[in-house]
Amino acid sequence: MGFRRDALSSPWHGVSLGGWLLLEPGPSYPLFAHHPAQDGEEARCEWDLMKQLRQKLGKKRSVEVLKVHRDTHITKADFERIRACGLNAVRLPFGYWVVTEPRANEPYIGSALEYVDRAVDWAEECGLQIVLDLHGCPGSESSEAPCGRRQRPASRWNWRHWDMARTLQILDMLAKRYSSRRCVTGIAVCNEPSGSVPCASLLRYYSQAVDRIRKAGMPASRVAVVLPVFQRPEGEVAFMKKWWSMTRGRHRNVCFDAHCYHCFENEFNGKSLAQQLRAVEENAKFLREYPVVVGEWSLALGVATWCTAGEMGEDEIISIFGAQQLGALQEASHGSFFWTWKECPENKEWNFQQAFSTGLLSRLPRQLPDWDGKGEDPLEEELHPSPSEPRVFYGDTVYLRVFHGRYVDVEGAKVCARWADKAKFQSLTFCPSDSASASPFVRREVRHRDIVRLRAHNGRYISVEGTSVTASRSCRSTAGEFQVCLEGEQTLVHRGIAYLRSRSTSMSLDADEDQEGVYARFKDLGLWQAFSVEKDVEGSRVLHHSGAVVLCGIPDLASNDALEQFEQAMCLFLFSLLFVTDALFAVALGTMPFLGTSHYRVRGFLQLRPEHKPTPSLSRTRLIEIAIVLFQLRISKAMVIEVQLCTSVASI
């Protein structure tokens, strides 16, 4: 007997009324901002906000403040606007204390069933369906803010604190009260229960809840019962199959509530825009197969998305993502609800009204190219074009993106992975470990099993000390050498995945999202150790159009005194250019100075090339321009600029 997929004749295409009858920062804007704690910080949940209000204003005034919010945050005019947007349903989240009085010693204010009555009346008058969503249960179904109380550490809450028996009584009260209302076409038995709730206990509670709702007068022919399947440790599909195995199809018109967010946890923070769209494609396959409502979705994206979308602007990225989601959501048997109707104005990805009015939800879905999962997804190139030369060469400026979407950055001697943008302090350069053996005029690709050094923007080299990773001034020992390990490729390319194994400890570099650091703790080549290597696309365009760049190995200068002497010689040489009339020369540089910074190192050598024929004389003005170009080029230790005054420099 197969899995039954009941579906609504008119699936919900609606929006959640978050922040009205269960308070949350953002959706309840501006209530939280207007009533901060004594230290100026906003509360994180309704429990904390109500405690702060009582301490600051007293119980009577707190009740008045909350009443004003409940009277004004959502009105009939909102229901009329929702209908005018072409939506056919609303999802109404509320805490159990809205249905009945809160338990002893809880700061919630209730009951307030008259507001649920109003919502049902307005839905009926405006031709909307309504789903009653018991968003916060007695004792809480998790330790997180959406259930009303955020508890930290999370271990303060135990799944046994959730009073399931009392929750069933409240569901019974709701079902009896609204059983005759035709606009009520769904009821959710809880919201986002913790994954620590044992599977068998949650399944048993769900089955009992369906029975209570049906017996209270809400038939399967008219009302769907919504069962959350949120972050289950066994997986959504496995949980649903266990439900089917336990109930054997006894319950009809039940649907599982999946929340399709693409901005939380490391998985989605680490996805490129192309990977985000493929995830939406996978969602569509899931929705086609199982009885599901997407109870919450938004336009918010993980941090890696914004640097992996080529030249596209923010609104274009959001609208492309929104269009793909809307297309996928059409597959849901019971429809979907955007989170949320009202939100802080700065958060347009969560604010349906703003997204709708600015056209972020008006684009048609994109036809994604076929891909069998092997090699690089062609969608990556489509959305984030590679530089004209996708291969990574020694001397190229690159950025290393870690699994949680941030890029490796270097600040002094500190090596971290803190931000998801590509700034100068996040730029790195691959340098050959044995620079003396490299041919001075042959560009070398970075290849699988190469031994490399990584030079940061400040001239320091990534080094390993025990399990710590730092940026060192010296790179002469194996502490600063790494073996490059590539996934299924021999040559490193733009967006290629590389692993970097320390030669001194045999440990692979890894990222830690909690500490925002980079370490060398394990020999594994897994998710934590993977680096997406991205070339500096803008810099690559300049250099490859110059026709004057070749790679070479430059021996290190052994001491600070030698470096200072070389800097002086370099400056004298550039000065001397002002008086040269006939010359053809090559300049092999290590680190060109960064204009506007207080510290830099110049490493390398200069070499005149007298064997070439003399070139026509150049004006002093042109030579000054050449000197400026040389200083402005940000070239790494392993790069050579071969400059032919009459031709090459003119094209840089």
Mean pLDDT for the stretch of residues 289-301: 98
Return the pLDDT at 487: 86
Distances (CA, A) of 618 to 456, 578, 581, 614, 621: 36, 9, 6, 12, 8
Instruction: Indicate if 94 and 230 belong to the same structural domain.
Output: yes
Instruction: Indicate if 401 and 344 belong to the same structural domain.
Output: no
Return the pLDDT at 538: 64
Residue 579 lies in a domain: no
Instruction: Indicate if 321 and 397 belong to the same structural domain.
Output: no
Residue 592 lies in a domain: no
Quote the mean pLDDT of the chain. Answer: 85
Instruction: Indicate if 347 and 453 belong to the same structural domain.
Output: no
Instruction: Indicate if 333 and 423 belong to the same structural domain.
Output: no
Return the pLDDT at 585: 34
pTM of the model: 0.83
| Domain end marker among 311, 341, 358 | 358
Instruction: Give catalytic status of residue 296 as yes or no.
Output: yes
State pLDDT tens for residues 354-368: 999 999 999 999 999
Residue 553 lies in a domain: no
Instruction: Indicate if 43 and 155 belong to the same structural domain.
Output: yes
Residue 575 lies in a domain: no
The CATH number assigned to the domain holding 461 equals 2.80.10.50
Q: How many angstroms separate the first and last alpha carbons of the chain?
A: 70
What is Dmax (Cα atoms) for the chain? 99
Residue 366 lies in a domain: no
State pLDDT tens for residues 83-132: 999 999 999 999 999 999 999 999 999 999 999 999 999 999 999 999 99
Instruction: Indicate if 413 and 306 belong to the same structural domain.
Output: no
The CATH number assigned to the domain holding 351 equals 3.20.20.80
Return the pLDDT at 57: 95
Instruction: Indicate if 339 and 448 belong to the same structural domain.
Output: no
Instruction: Indicate if 409 and 352 belong to the same structural domain.
Output: no
Instruction: Indicate if 405 and 490 belong to the same structural domain.
Output: yes
pLDDT(564) > 70: no
Q: How far apart are CA 482 and CA 512, in angstroms?
A: 19
Q: Which residue is catalytic, options 141, 144, 296, 380?
A: 296
**Structural domain total, the chain:** 2
Q: Which residue is catalytic, options 192, 343, 380, 534?
A: 192
Confidence of residue 400 (pLDDT cuts 50, 70, 90): very high
| Structural domain of 35 | 12-358
State pLDDT tens for residues 110-124: 999 999 999 999 999
Instruction: Indicate if 337 and 252 belong to the same structural domain.
Output: yes
Residue 307 lies in a domain: yes
Residues whose CB is less than 8 angstroms from the CB of residue 136 and which lie 6 or more positions away in sequence, other chains included? 22, 46, 94, 95, 96, 97, 146, 147, 148, 149, 191
| Domain end marker among 488, 509, 535 | 535
Instruction: Indicate if 118 and 205 belong to the same structural domain.
Output: yes
Share of the chain above pLDDT 90, in %: 77
